[in-house]
Amino acid sequence: MSLKHFRITLMVACIALACAGGMSALAAEEVLLRSGETISGHVTGQSATMVFLSTARGTKNISKLDILRIQYAAFTPAQKALALEVRRQKEAAQALEWERIRRLKEGEDRKQREEQLAAKIRAEKDTAAQAAADRAAALRELVEKGKMAKPGDEPISYWDFAWRSMVLPGWGHFYLDRPWFGAIYAVGATSLLSGAYETHRRGRAAERENHREAQTNFILSAHPGLPGWEARTMYGLYANAKAFTVYRHKVHRYNGALAALGTFYAVQLFHIIYNGIAWEKGLLIVENGQSAPASIDGRVVVMPESADPGRRNGVALAGIFTLRF
């Protein structure tokens, strides 16, 4: 080979090596970490949890959890900022979702504990109600057989509640340790009774006024010398029309008030008899003189809604209110 050919061959080999080195440099990967740092090198392998990267300073073992993105070109500032923003939004959405799941779990656990506590209290009250019913049945048997006098300070049958509500609406419910129903029936009966009294007073006044106008109309009809027949006729029509409208309406209102009072009285009496029979059978749970005061429990729960990256996050409100009496 001539010297000239040797130089050409050597030049081609150098150019090929340079191009190979340039292509190798261009083909290097760049790894963007979650911390925002970038590392350049060649990925030589990976495992289930690690990526092996060959760099100018040696081989680095990088956890996959720390890697945000790998690409075959250098990251521009815009690409880097976009990747970090997407990662931030995704982590924020995941945090909201985990918080929502945690609160739901806490709510479920709280509800389960409350249900268990309520079931326990219910069982204890059922046992106490049945024990009271058994005691009342035993006392009734002793009284019926004449072995003891009827206790005056302890109920033994539904009649002990019923006769009190017959005398005074609501009294039987107070005696049964159901004060809210007792107060409702007592106030309702008092209001209806006062309404019946007022409508009765107005009805009686209307009846007396109608009687006076009837007498006046009779006197006018019996004495021809008084005002002319036209005036007497007009007055008679006026008095009759008033009797069939205003006076009768007042009487009807009184009858309606009596009907409302009687219906209300019958309802409260039926209710106390029904409750008394249930109490005899151990089916009615009362507090035996230790009723808790009426209360309204309220609770508002704020839970974040799950959101996708790029979407606006929101919250969900849940309100729970309980009335006890």
Q: Supply φ then ψ for residue 53, to 5 degrees.
A: -120, 125
Q: What is the mean pLDDT of residues 180-208?
A: 88
Rounded alpha-carbon distances, angstroms, from residue 124 to 118, 287, 306? 10, 11, 42
Query: What pTM was computed for the model?
Result: 0.51
Pick the residue with more confidence: 192 or 86?
Answer: 192
Start-to-end CA distance of the chain, whole Å, equals 114
Say whether pLDDT at 238 is over 90. no
Q: What proportion of the chain, given as a percentage, has pLDDT over 70?
A: 68
Residues 6+ apart with CB under 8 A from 164: 171, 172, 175, 272
Nearest Cα neighbor of 264 from 138, 122, 151, 169 is 169
pLDDT at residue number 16: 46
At 290, the pLDDT band (50, 70, 90 cuts) reads very low
- Is residue 41 within 8 Å of residue 53, measured between CB atoms? yes
- Is residue 62 within 8 Å of residue 51, measured between CB atoms? yes
pLDDT at residue number 70: 82
Q: List pLDDT tens digits, range 82-112.
A: 888 888 888 889 889 999 999 999 988 999 9
Q: List pLDDT tens digits, range 133-185.
A: 898 888 888 888 888 888 888 888 999 999 999 999 999 999 998 999 999 99
Pick the residue with more confidence: 259 or 237?
Answer: 259
pLDDT at residue number 260: 94
Q: What is the mean pLDDT of residues 206-219?
A: 68
pLDDT at residue number 171: 93
At 9, the pLDDT band (50, 70, 90 cuts) reads low
Long-range contacts of 86-92 (CB under 8 A, 24+ apart): 86/309, 87/34, 89/309, 89/310, 90/309, 92/313
Domain boundaries, the chain: 3-75, 87-148, 157-289
Say whether pLDDT at 310 is over 80. no
Q: What proportion of the chain, given as a percentage, has pLDDT over 90?
A: 20
Rounded alpha-carbon distances, angstroms, from residue 116 to 121, 319, 321, 325? 9, 21, 19, 21
pLDDT at residue number 309: 46
pLDDT at residue number 22: 43
Say whether pLDDT at 270 is over 50. yes
CATH of 3-75, one of 2.30.30.100, 3.10.20.310, 3.40.50.720, 3.40.50.2000: 2.30.30.100
At 199, the pLDDT band (50, 70, 90 cuts) reads confident
pLDDT at residue number 268: 95
